[in-house]
Amino acid sequence: MSKEQNIAGVECSGWLRALGAVETSWLSTTVDSGQTYTHSATQCRGGGAVTMQFAPRPPPTFTNLRPCSWESWYTVMPQIILLFSGKRKSGKDFLTTHLQNLLADKCEVLKISHPIKSHWAKEKNLNLNELLGDSEYKEQYRLDMINWSEEMRAQDYGYFCRIACQDATDKPIWIVSDIRRKTDIKWFKEKYGDQTRTIRIIADEETRKKRGFIFKSGVDDVASECDLDDFVEWDLVLDNSEGKQKLEEQLSSILGLVSGL
């Protein structure tokens, strides 16, 4: 015999509010008779009463369940995501650091390379802070990190983009300072659509050499440095060569992409 129990006046909050993200969520419980019942929680949108229906039947199969994960009902959504790309020693980190200082608490800087370097530091017992910085220490391990990350991307092109965004805070502007591949841009556009803006930082080779650039085979002639060479759909291109655009002019152009926030 089935039985129903109406529980009136129970506020739909916490995990019940999560259940409210779907029309009906099936759960199992054991009542005082010792028999296992299946019950459904319904009418749980925006608070209000919850109706619990109990029936002595086995729970439905997983094919009948509708997922209700944390991500499905709550996701941090910035208003604008600035995707920066540029070759080694083009000055993209210098520029994004100044942009971060200018925007202050309105922005957060994300690095796709951070989870790569974090894994490598743990795997090889290396200094993570040195790997994250702009030093010769990082260059010693760059080729190995590139090769490992390419293997991971072959399985899931958005793997590192997804991890980089997982711990992002609820700021209106995200600055992703190290976009390197077309698939990086593809992932962000698929996930965030019109909220993305793409920015390419260029610099001539003479300027880059003055900043310490030395060509390295297996690093500067592979996808991590060259995949975006023929990409043309940039929202903004900044020439960071010596004697070209001043820093103030570059920052002003970028701020034009986030005007109104």
At 122 the pLDDT is 80
Question: Does 102 have pLDDT greater than 80?
Answer: yes
pLDDT computed for residue 60 by the predictor: 38
pLDDT at 114: 82
Residue 19 clears pLDDT 60, i.e. is over it: no
More confident residue, 82 or 123: 82
At residue 219, φ and ψ (nearest 5 deg) are -120, -55
Given a cut of 80, is residue 194 above it in pLDDT?
A: yes
CB 73 within 8 A of CB 28: no
Amino acid of residue 246: K
Q: Could you give the CA distance from residue 257 to residue 74 in angstroms, rounded to a whole number? A: 26
Tens digits of residue pLDDT in 43-96: 434 444 444 444 444 443 433 334 434 443 346 789 999 999 999 999 999 999
Residue 8 has pLDDT above 80, yes or no: no
Could you give the domains of the chain?
3-72 (no CATH), 77-255 (3.40.50.300)
Q: Please give the pLDDT value at position 22.
A: 35
Least confident of 37-51, 132-146, 244-258: 37-51
Alpha-helical runs (H) found in 64-172: 70-73, 92-103, 113-124, 128-132, 136-155, 159-166
Does residue 234 register a pLDDT over 60?
yes
The one-letter amino acid code at 17 reads R
Q: Which of 21-25, 97-101, 123-127 has the weakest average pLDDT?
A: 21-25
Adjacency order of strands within the sheet including 107-110: 107-110, 173-179, 80-86, 196-202, 236-239
Percent of the chain predicted with pLDDT > 70? 70
At 75 the pLDDT is 60
Q: How many helices (H) and strands (E) does the chain have?
A: 11, 9
Count Cα atoms within 13 angstroms, Cβ side, for 212: 7
Query: Is 218 a residue whose pLDDT tops 80?
Result: yes
Residues 54, 57: Cα–Cα separation, whole Å: 9
Of 52-56, 114-118, 134-138, the least confident: 52-56
Higher pLDDT, 247 or 1: 247
Which residues are CB-neighbours of 45 under 8 A, at least 6 positions away? Answer: 12, 20
Greater confidence (133 vs 114) lies with 114
Average pLDDT of every residue of the chain = 76
Taking Cα atoms as reference points, which of 60, 1, 48, 56 lies closest to residue 30? 56
Mean pLDDT, rounded, for 20-30: 38
Q: What is the pTM of this model?
A: 0.67
pLDDT of residue 152: 87
Instruction: List phi, psi (to 5°) of 132.
Output: -80, -20
> Of 50-64, 90-104, 155-169, 235-249, which gets the smallest average pLDDT?
50-64
